[in-house]
């Protein structure tokens, strides 16, 4: 987990995604903004997942097609390709499942970052002597701590954790994230 976090911190795309996630609290100015923030979070997770699985999907499909005789000639090749439809369908099903898992993992990483932000706000509201999770957004978390107080910060942290739990329980990610964003806005 620490190594993965370190890798993400070095990757410019990952840094950009993290900054967008940590900008969420500032963007929640109303119901419309909450739904916009939910859409942005879901779309970012979809894009991250797509990027992470696209190359592997293409390579796997090409390897399977070659193994099944694609590009071959002769009497046996045409029959082999016809019989390969089921195997290609199985591959597509596995790839779709992997893409869904990758999207949920990307979304979960974003939610962990967001939970860290609200945890920082909570510890600051309580004046707890602990270092912030996100030093780069500590000032914003401090402002949130003053605005929301400890109870409001805790409710927001709980909303993020409830969203993670809902997604783990197979609630559609968009529905869970929209509910979370509304809870974060309302406080």
> What contacts 8, CB < 8 A, 6 or more positions away?
14, 15, 18, 109
pLDDT (0 to 100) of residue 99 = 79
Q: Each residue of 107-142: pLDDT tens digit?
A: 999 999 999 999 999 999 999 999 999 999 999 999
Distance of CA 74 to the CA centre of its chain: 47
pLDDT (0 to 100) of residue 81 = 58
pLDDT (0 to 100) of residue 128 = 95
Q: Are 167 and 176 in contact, with CB atoms under 8 Å apart?
A: yes
Q: Each residue of 150-163: pLDDT tens digit?
A: 999 999 999 999 99
> Which stretches of the chain drop beneath a pLDDT of 70?
1-10, 54-55, 57, 60-62, 64-84
| H or E element, residue 133 | none
Of the candidates 148, 150, 156, 153, which has an alpha carbon nearest to the alpha carbon of residue 183? 156
Of the candidates 109, 112, 102, 96, which has an alpha carbon nearest to the alpha carbon of residue 51? 102
Q: What is the pTM of this model?
A: 0.76
């Amino acid at each position: 987990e620490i190594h993965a976090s370190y890798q993400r911190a070095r990757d410019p795309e990952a840094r950009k995604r993290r900054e967008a996630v940590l900008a969420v609290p500032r963007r929640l100015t109303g119901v419309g903004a909450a739904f916009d923030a939910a859409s942005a979070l879901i779309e970012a997770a979809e894009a991250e997942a797509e990027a992470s699985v696209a190359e592997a999907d293409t390579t796997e499909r090409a390897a399977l097609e070659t193994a099944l005789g694609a590009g071959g000639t002769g009497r046996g090749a045409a029959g082999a390709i016809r019989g390969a439809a089921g195997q290609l369908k199985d591959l597509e099903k596995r790839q779709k499942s992997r893409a869904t898992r990758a999207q949920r993992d990307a979304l979960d990483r974003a939610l962990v970052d967001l939970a860290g932000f609200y945890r920082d706000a909570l510890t600051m509201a309580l004046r707890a002597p602990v270092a912030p999770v996100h030093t780069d957004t500590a000032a914003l978390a401090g402002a949130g701590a003053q605005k929301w107080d400890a109870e409001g910060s805790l409710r927001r942290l709980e909303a993020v954790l409830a969203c993670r739990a809902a997604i783990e329980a197979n609630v559609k990610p968009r529905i869970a994230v929209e509910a979370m964003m509304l809870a974060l806005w309302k406080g």
